[in-house]
């Protein structure tokens, strides 16, 4: 959607939200592998980013665990299905970071708090300053801002509603979907 030429990211690393970016979201939560369905073009986008040399990390709130809607075993099975689907298209996820807490738990890892992104920084020994963080909700954009990362919004999932209400939208790169965001990032590193 954005027509502006993107700057070259400081690292070949992309952080993705899961629900609404990679797969269809649900107000009833994705509780089993059968409910996990990739969004059109998302698997190919991850494959293209992988083939362009990007490391891809997922950072996702999964409060369904804390709410008792599914357990860690089910979450692992959902993530295994996602990894397999991505791998079947030639893509690869380097890591998945999850906040399993209930919103009332007041943890520091539930986006919009930056705990998940700080954990990525710690584990990789890097700063996420300027690194693309792609999400569909204000909480994704706010978490990215909190660590100085580069917030990117996709209009899938909650993205259209976020675009209508996000107060700082003018400072966010907006794309129709993950495929469009991936294409723009790949173009940016080629120049």
* Domain harbouring 116, CATH code: 3.40.50.1000
Q: Does the residue 8 lie in any domain?
A: no
Degrees to nearest 5, angle at CA 42 with 37 and 46? 125
Q: Does the residue 125 lie in any domain?
A: yes
Give the residue numbers spanning the domain of 26: 13-190
SS3 186: helix
Q: Does the residue 2 lie in any domain?
A: no
Asked if residue 127 has pLDDT above 60, the reply is yes
Q: What is the pLDDT of residues 147-159, one digit of tens each?
A: 999 999 999 999 9
Catalytic residues: 17, 19
Q: What is the pLDDT of residues 9-22, one digit of tens each?
A: 878 999 999 999 99
Considering its fold, how many domains does the chain have in total? 1
Q: What is the pLDDT of residue 11?
A: 87
Q: Does the residue 101 lie in any domain?
A: yes
Asked if residue 162 has pLDDT above 80, the reply is yes
CB neighbourhood size of 57 (10 A)? 22
Please enumerate in sequence order all residues whose Cβ is within 8 A of that of 49, keeping only pairs 6 or more positions apart, or say none.
14, 56, 91, 182, 185, 186
**What percentage of the chain carries pLDDT values higher than 70?**
97
Q: Does the residue 55 lie in any domain?
A: yes
Q: Does the residue 63 lie in any domain?
A: yes
């Amino acid at each position: 959607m954005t027509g502006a030429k993107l700057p070259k990211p400081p690292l070949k690393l992309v952080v993705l939200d899961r629900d609404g970016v990679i797969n269809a979201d649900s107000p009833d939560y994705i509780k089993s592998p059968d409910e996990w369905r990739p969004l059109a073009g998302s698997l190919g986008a991850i494959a293209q980013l992988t083939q362009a040399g990007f490391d891809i990390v997922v950072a996702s709130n999964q409060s369904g665990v804390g709410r008792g809607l599914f357990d860690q075993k089910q979450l692992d099975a959902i993530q295994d299905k996602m990894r397999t689907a991505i791998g079947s298209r030639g893509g690869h996820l380097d890591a998945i970071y999850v906040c399993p807490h209930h919103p009332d738990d007041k943890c520091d890892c539930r986006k919009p708090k930056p705990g998940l992104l700080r954990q990525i920084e710690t584990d990789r020994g890097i700063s996420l300053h300027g690194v693309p963080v792609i999400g569909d909700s204000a909480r994704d954009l706010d978490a990215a801002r909190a660590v100085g990362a580069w917030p990117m919004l996709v209009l899938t999932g909650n993205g259209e509603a976020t675009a209508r209400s996000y107060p700082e939208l003018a400072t966010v790169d907006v794309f129709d979907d993950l495929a469009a965001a991936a294409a723009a990032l790949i173009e940016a590193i080629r120049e």
